[in-house]
Structure 1
């Protein structure tokens, strides 16, 4: 597709149709519920609607036929309509206009059906959570500390030095002051939040926490060492959580003598603003630990979605192949800004793919795409040459003032 031949609609279809198809396959595999897939992309990426809702609105038959035509043209497995999509269309479940697609509709509105959870299914706290531990002092860790403290929990956070501890306190204080300036908080609330914080430079301070969330660097060896230490230090019955976005939680669980207590709690950055938390269970994670973590997310004002331990979880597994496809489209001759503008105009996404890549960091994006390719062995997931090149050139995005776009 050349730039002169590409319309906004064509660009959007090229990138969005495989994304929708991948979401169907994720649901078909029972990796996550329809509601959680849709919520993950809405609250994790800021998309106006989740992919399965979009499919219902576009018409499953329409999307199926468009994918089939693309598959006939490209032979790319990512364009082959998902088996479930074909089956639903065959059953006459073509979407919102016909009253049944992935959801059920009456008078144009979603209504309860046999997949709708009942109010009695709301997760409950099966563990008593009073004190929270956080390991790390970076942006993500600081945000998580603030989220729990603002929700009324006493928080012990561990950093490598007093300067790091002071940095967290200073950052949270600054954030609370901004809320006060905007009229969304007051001095009494600020003092109460700060009064719930205890900084420490040794992990032994975590001995009596009810849940600990680690938010250190994405380095498997560092995290394995940390979880072995958690096992030694922290009381039995406590929940051991990781906010990793990419590393295998099962390996972290296996580093302890209590894998049933280990779970993923993937916050999105900035944690104080983003509503989504992916709650990720390893094979040995206890049902009580999973339910408590889901309930805890709700208590601190987050939207929790459930999934199992595999590369990308929900959001990254759907997002990064789409971003990789954008790189491939650009390599075919379509200008970056044209692609960015088309996606915002047609799909309603808050950022174009190259704007988002530059915000995430092209090195981070490449690493995630490599992990997805290694896990799923899907040829279409092989990292695009242009993504590899910007990273090799040191153009990592906004953090280096240059990525796919120039920010100097």
Structure 2
């Protein structure tokens, strides 16, 4: 594939993603900073999408999308009105000194504060005291979250379904800490202190005194609603009930309790000890002090918190998976091989992985499920899962975990 062809292929996948991010900002679903931080810290991208638009030029992105829309007729290619508005205001990106962000001068990439820059913590926030943490679950995500809180100095009570699973969590954290000691990233003394903060249990009643309980169990609405009904009866008044769901309506979980104001989304990314992002999701009933407390807790655990409302995909999945799905459609259309598409993205946009490498890491079944959720939520035909993705899942080829996905391992 020629260099020009490779660039055109990369642009055909990235520009709709940039347009989607502009739409998210335009709707006020999340701040520009949170959209960009979500993709940087949740996906490891070198730059957030709105920064990329400013870098490329708002007018260039708008005009390229308009040309794509004229050819395809697809809604995802129609330039968002905010792009027209910025261009009309002379805010064409870094070259002009202003776009989605404001810059120190024309041509500078130094962002300076403007009227829409979020205010920092004022000290007036009402933050609930968090002294003890509870976690429900024993899988990879739950284990990582337990380790995150214990490493930040919090005593953690975690609940699993059996003593074997309780022991398995501790063994996994011991192994993780041993590797960190071996690599010089922590001391044996600190590792021992982390382990000393862990208390495992098989009964949910052990969570009665926790100031916040984070659930990380199976993504099944029946199982989660039963858990939240239980937690409502067990946990003390004022305790925050958080869910790590990436797909289910958090308001539905809050409705199972007598305290929906205390229910919040706290979406960690896998592996939790490594990935810095946490999406903090509010429902219509989540109390402001709960949101302030969770953001404060994220900061104390050295995580980057981004805020958004309760809808499918939140920030990261809503932007990431349509792009991955489009890559599969490009493959189906013969625009390039898996290797050519991955190479185009990593070469021209500096992503740490191309879409097919990432799909195989995430799991094709997980990717398909999220894409189906996005289609159900938003209803856009362009979100229909690519047939090739469906075929591979039906064949049991789910990516690295089955040693075969888009590639064989």
TM-score (norm 1): 0.97
How far residue 86 of structure 1 moved from its aligned partner, in angstroms, is: 1.2
Change (3 A) 1:103 1:290: same
**Per-residue CA shift, 1:192-218, capped at 9, x if unaligned?**
111111000000000010000000011
- Aligned mates of 1:172, 1:124 — CA distance in 2: 34
Aligned to 2:319: 318
Aligned to 2:64: 66
- Aligned mates of 1:97, 1:359 — CA distance in 2: 37
1:389 to 388, 391, 409: 391
Unaligned runs of 5+ in 1: none
Shifted more, 18-27 versus 82-91: the winner is 82-91
Unaligned runs of 5+ in 2: none
Aligned to 2:343: 341
How far residue 117 of structure 1 moved from its aligned partner, in angstroms, is: 2.4
Aligned to 2:140: 139
**Per-residue CA shift, 1:61-95, capped at 9, x if unaligned?**
00100000000000000000001111111111100
Aligned to 1:357: 359
How far residue 104 of structure 1 moved from its aligned partner, in angstroms, is: 0.3
> What are the equivalent positions in structure 2 for 1:264-303 lying under 5 Å apart?
264-303=265-304
Change (3 A) 1:373 1:385: same
Q: Compute the RMSD of aligned alpha carbons.
A: 1.3
- Aligned mates of 2:9, 2:50 — CA distance in 1: 20
* Contact persistence 1:123–1:295 (CA under 8 A): no
* Contact persistence 1:317–1:372 (CA under 8 A): yes
Where 1:265 maps in the other structure, the secondary structure is strand
How far residue 105 of structure 1 moved from its aligned partner, in angstroms, is: 0.5
Where 2:401 maps in the other structure, the secondary structure is helix
Change (3 A) 1:40 1:5: closer
How far residue 118 of structure 1 moved from its aligned partner, in angstroms, is: 3.0
- Aligned mates of 1:278, 1:85 — CA distance in 2: 26
Aligned to 2:30: 32
Aligned to 2:50: 52
Aligned to 1:84: 82
Aligned to 2:371: 369
Aligned to 1:227: 228
Aligned to 1:101: 99
- Aligned mates of 1:282, 1:25 — CA distance in 2: 21
How far residue 6 of structure 1 moved from its aligned partner, in angstroms, is: 7.4
Change (3 A) 1:227 1:85: same
TM-score (norm 2): 0.97
Aligned to 1:14: 12
How far residue 190 of structure 1 moved from its aligned partner, in angstroms, is: 1.2
Aligned to 2:331: 330
1:241 aligns with 2:239: no
Where 1:277 maps in the other structure, the secondary structure is strand
* Contact persistence 1:38–1:52 (CA under 8 A): yes
How far residue 122 of structure 1 moved from its aligned partner, in angstroms, is: 6.9
* Contact persistence 1:242–1:249 (CA under 8 A): yes
Shifted more, 262-271 versus 86-95: the winner is 86-95
- Aligned mates of 1:359, 1:272 — CA distance in 2: 17
> What are the equivalent positions in structure 2 for 1:152-231 lying under 5 Å apart?
152-231=153-232
Where 2:286 maps in the other structure, the secondary structure is coil
Where 2:111 maps in the other structure, the secondary structure is strand
* Contact persistence 1:125–1:296 (CA under 8 A): no
* Contact persistence 1:31–1:308 (CA under 8 A): yes
* Contact persistence 1:311–1:372 (CA under 8 A): yes
Shifted more, 271-280 versus 111-120: the winner is 111-120
* Contact persistence 1:124–1:295 (CA under 8 A): no
Change (3 A) 1:123 1:321: farther
- Aligned mates of 2:166, 2:156 — CA distance in 1: 13
- Aligned mates of 1:122, 1:382 — CA distance in 2: 46
- Aligned mates of 1:381, 1:243 — CA distance in 2: 24
- Aligned mates of 2:349, 2:302 — CA distance in 1: 28
**Per-residue CA shift, 1:216-246, capped at 9, x if unaligned?**
0111100000000000101010000000111
> What are the equivalent positions in structure 2 for 1:300-311 lying under 5 Å apart?
300-311=301-312
